[in-house]
Amino acid sequence: MNIIDTHHHLWDLERNSYPWLKRDVGHFAGDYSKIRRSYMVKDFLADAATLPGGWQLVKSVHVQAEWDHEQDPVGETAWLQKVADSPGSKGVPNGIVAFADLADPRVEDTLARHAKHKNWRGIRHMLNHSQDNPRLNFTPRGDLMADKHWRAGYRLLAKFNGSFDLQIWPWQLEAAARLTGDIPEVRVVLNHTGLPYARDAAAMRQWREGMKALAERPHVACKISALGMAHRGWTTEFIRPFVEETISIFGADRCMFASNFPVDSLTSSYAAIWHAYDDITSKLPQSDRQKLFHDNAVRYYRV
């Protein structure tokens, strides 16, 4: 199986600034001291080399790694483009999902400068918001999806043929369905399976209903990933219901797999994640598996 990893990160802590990795800010996944070190393309390719025999990483999509927001976000894209163009990188990352503050009055200029880099594909501006739990609140500015300035920046993505990587909590899924219905010209990829953080019956019902609402938008796809990020000791059977339900809700034409490495190295090995996806989808038609592991990534991220 040739695979495309649609969500991973790289960071060089010696040259670039990532504040969340330099201090303990209470990440919801717990202690992340293990990944508080540079993770370069050679490290990512070394992890990919542990895939089972007959499996091969052929392309990848890098998603913004919270480069210091006080710096120009195009700096991260420029650095990643140099990495992709360098000898030995094998073209990785083939797609770059960058950061931009979509509420910034200067966001159109930022998007234009991102778009000058050939591997740029879109933007992720993390929208995770919780009024009750500070550890689950990734933005101090409330519900950005309802902010008119942010929505104006979001709409501009279509002008640059950029997609939006949507990262939210399950209780925000229905609001995201309204946003994507209001502005259908922007292609959207939901990150991390909608982040089903809690597993009690009420939380599962909320996640499931929100996923169904978002899946009604035909221009929204879903990345299946990070299902073990907050659950050390996860197993294939633990994540199976989420993988199977997501594929059932969105369909095999609108789902794709990802590792979320190196963040998910806190709870798993690279090979174990892909082995789990392989096992869970083993009874699907090979044509569907080809879409989930490879073809959908080519289509949605144009890699």
pLDDT attached to residue 10:
98
Q: What is the pLDDT of residues 56-113, one digit of tens each?
A: 999 999 999 999 999 999 999 999 999 999 999 999 999 999 999 999 999 999 999 9
**78 conformational bin, left if phi > 0, alpha if psi -120 to 50, beta if neither:** alpha
pLDDT attached to residue 27:
62
> Do residues 217 and 175 touch, judged by C-beta distance below 8 A?
no
Omega into 73 within 30° of 0, i.e. cis? no
CA atoms within 13 A on the CB side of 35: 27
pLDDT attached to residue 167:
97
CATH assignment of the domain containing 115: 3.20.20.140
Sequence letter at residue 70:
E
Output b/e per residue, 65-86; b: 16+ Cβ within 10 A. Answer: bbbeeeeebbebbbbbbebbee
**151 conformational bin, left if phi > 0, alpha if psi -120 to 50, beta if neither:** alpha
Determine how β-strand 120-124 pairs with β-strand 163-166.
parallel
pLDDT attached to residue 23:
67
CB atoms within 10 A of CB 29: 17
CA distance readout (Å), 62 to 6, 41, 72, 176, 246: 7, 11, 18, 23, 22
Closest by CA to 172, choosing from 132, 141, 208, 128, is 128
Query: Which residue(s) pair with 190 in the sheet?
Result: 166, 222
CA distance readout (Å), 124 to 34, 52, 94, 159, 262: 24, 31, 16, 16, 18
Q: What is the pLDDT of residues 55-72, one digit of tens each?
A: 999 999 999 999 999 999
Q: Provide the residue range defining the domain that includes 36.
A: 2-301
pLDDT attached to residue 30:
67
Hey, what are 132's tokens? 């009750």
From the number of C-beta atoms within 10 Å of its C-beta (0-12, 13-18, 19+), residue 111 rates as buried
pLDDT attached to residue 29:
66
Q: Which residues of the chain have pLDDT under 70?
A: 23-30
CA distance 139 to 129: 6
Omega into 262 within 30° of 0, i.e. cis? yes
- Say how many domains are in the chain: 1
CB atoms within 10 A of CB 28: 17
| 141 SS3 class | coil
pLDDT attached to residue 166:
98
Q: What angle do CA 252, 170, 166 make, to 5 degrees?
A: 65
